[in-house]
């Protein structure tokens, strides 16, 4: 009995000591230069301020930097981290390294997978509903093709592809499926694989697709994010294909899209399905904070929604998305 009491008292003391430790959380992103990730960080900072924890932001462009960042967080006595990894196949390495360092981990945007491509169930995840959001892209483009009264046989669709990333494949396949459902000919869809998910690589990929398919009168473009579609739009411009003959719809709605939609004259970047950097940055951080402080375990998977934003409705969409 005495021993039990003593053990209980020790446990209570340990818990109290733990609770008193300042909370420190890492937020690791694969492409720190991308406006979407800048926004996530900004909202994570907001969560840190609201809840009173320290946020450590680290860019992890490759596996080596990612592993070093996790060890570094442990050395600084952080208790956990949110991560969008440079390669989802590093999932097992993330899981092991977090466990070894006694860090809690939540993934954001890109779901981590094991060697066979299966999602790692022990790591809670918040991502976008990729296929549904991709469909919104395709539906938005199909509506614009109809509004312009283009003959679909004369339209080429560039799918800027990054199929090794599951969410990227889901997004672009959702877009293509919606186009096909609207009567778009499957044979007019051209895959343009990009080596990295940024504008420069999308530009190079789209350029090849355009060169090889000069037969089309009009073009549309889809990709996993705004940067991918912007690459296609810029490549088309380089070949004299401007706003009246290009309808590109991205995914994201962060600064890159905003700049484009606010240029005085419309470009081939017709719109973007806006997704919630606020939820992805703020809510993942709060979920992790609650987990660390024993206030609650994060949901295993949260998939967030998007809204089609164009020049015509951008103010309204931003308001509705709370951003």
Binding site for ligand FCA (CB under 6 A): 34, 36, 84, 109-110, 128, 167, 197, 224-225, 251-252
Where does residue 21 rank: exposed (0-12), middle (13-18), buried (19+ CB within 10 A)?
exposed
Q: Which is nearer to ligand FCA, 101 or 197 (CB)?
A: 197
| CB of residue 198 to ligand FCA, shortest distance in Å | 9
- CA–CA dist 112, 30 (Å, integer): 13
Q: Which is nearer to ligand FCA, 128 or 286 (CB)?
A: 128
Q: Which residue is nearest to ligand FCA (CB)?
A: 225
| CB of residue 304 to ligand FCA, shortest distance in Å | 9
Q: How far is CA 70 from CA 50, 67, 175, 279, in A?
A: 24, 5, 36, 23
Q: Which is nearer to ligand FCA, 197 or 287 (CB)?
A: 197
Q: Which is nearer to ligand FCA, 29 or 142 (CB)?
A: 29
| CB of residue 183 to ligand FCA, shortest distance in Å | 28
| CB of residue 178 to ligand FCA, shortest distance in Å | 18
| CB of residue 57 to ligand FCA, shortest distance in Å | 16
Contact 247, 270 (CB under 8 A): yes
| CB of residue 130 to ligand FCA, shortest distance in Å | 8
Q: Which is nearer to ligand FCA, 110 or 139 (CB)?
A: 110
Q: Strands, DSSP E only, in the chain? A: 24-29, 54-59, 80-84, 104-108, 125-128, 155-161, 189-193, 218-222, 246-252, 269-275, 301-304, 306-310
Q: Which is nearer to ligand FCA, 36 or 216 (CB)?
A: 36
Angle at alpha carbon of residue 304, lines to 302 and 310, rounded to 5°: 170
| CB of residue 65 to ligand FCA, shortest distance in Å | 16
Percent helix, strand and coil across the chain, each to the nearest 5: 50, 20, 30
Q: Which is nearer to ligand FCA, 29 or 247 (CB)?
A: 29
- CA–CA dist 85, 288 (Å, integer): 17
Kindly report the number of other CB atoms within 10 A of residue 181's CB atom: 12
| φ, ψ for residue 25, nearest 5 deg | -125, 135
- CA–CA dist 85, 107 (Å, integer): 8
Q: Which is nearer to ligand FCA, 105 or 145 (CB)?
A: 105
What residues have CB less than 8 Å from 318, skipping those under 6 apart? 253, 274, 309
| CB of residue 223 to ligand FCA, shortest distance in Å | 9
Contact 189, 157 (CB under 8 A): yes
């Amino acid at each position: 009995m005495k021993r039990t009491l003593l053990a209980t008292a020790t446990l209570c003391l340990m818990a109290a000591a733990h609770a008193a430790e300042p909370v420190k959380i890492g937020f690791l992103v694969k492409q720190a230069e991308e406006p979407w990730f800048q926004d996530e960080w900004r909202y994570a900072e907001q969560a840190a301020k609201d809840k009173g924890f320290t946020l450590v932001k680290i860019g992890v462009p490759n596996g080596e930097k990612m592993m070093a960042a996790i060890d570094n967080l442990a050395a600084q006595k952080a208790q956990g981290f949110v991560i969008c990894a440079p390669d989802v196949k590093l999932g097992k390495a993330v899981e092991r390294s977090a466990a070894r360092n006694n860090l809690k981990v939540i993934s954001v945007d890109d779901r981590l997978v094991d060697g066979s491509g299966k999602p790692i169930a022990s790591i809670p995840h918040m991502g976008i509903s990729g296929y549904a959001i991709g469909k919104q892209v395709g539906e938005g483009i199909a509506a614009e093709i109809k509004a312009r009264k283009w003959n679909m046989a004369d339209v080429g669709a560039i799918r800027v592809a990054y199929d090794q990333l599951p969410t990227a494949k889901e997004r672009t396949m959702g877009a293509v499926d919606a186009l096909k459902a609207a009567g778009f000919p499957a044979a007019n869809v051209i895959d343009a694989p990009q080596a990295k998910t940024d504008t420069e690589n999308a530009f190079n990929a789209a350029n090849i697709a355009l060169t090889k398919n000069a037969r089309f009168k009009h073009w549309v473009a889809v990709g996993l994010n705004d940067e991918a579609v912007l690459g296609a739009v810029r490549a088309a411009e380089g070949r004299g294909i401007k706003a009246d003959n290009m309808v590109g719809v991205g995914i994201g709605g962060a600064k890159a899209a905003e700049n484009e939609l606010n240029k005085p004259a419309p470009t081939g970047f017709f719109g973007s399905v806006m997704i919630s950097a606020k939820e992805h940055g703020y809510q993942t951080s709060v979920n992790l904070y609650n987990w660390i402080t024993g206030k609650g375990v994060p949901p295993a998977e949260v998939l967030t929604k998007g809204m089609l934003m164009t020049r015509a409705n951008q103010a309204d969409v931003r308001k509705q998305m709370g951003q």
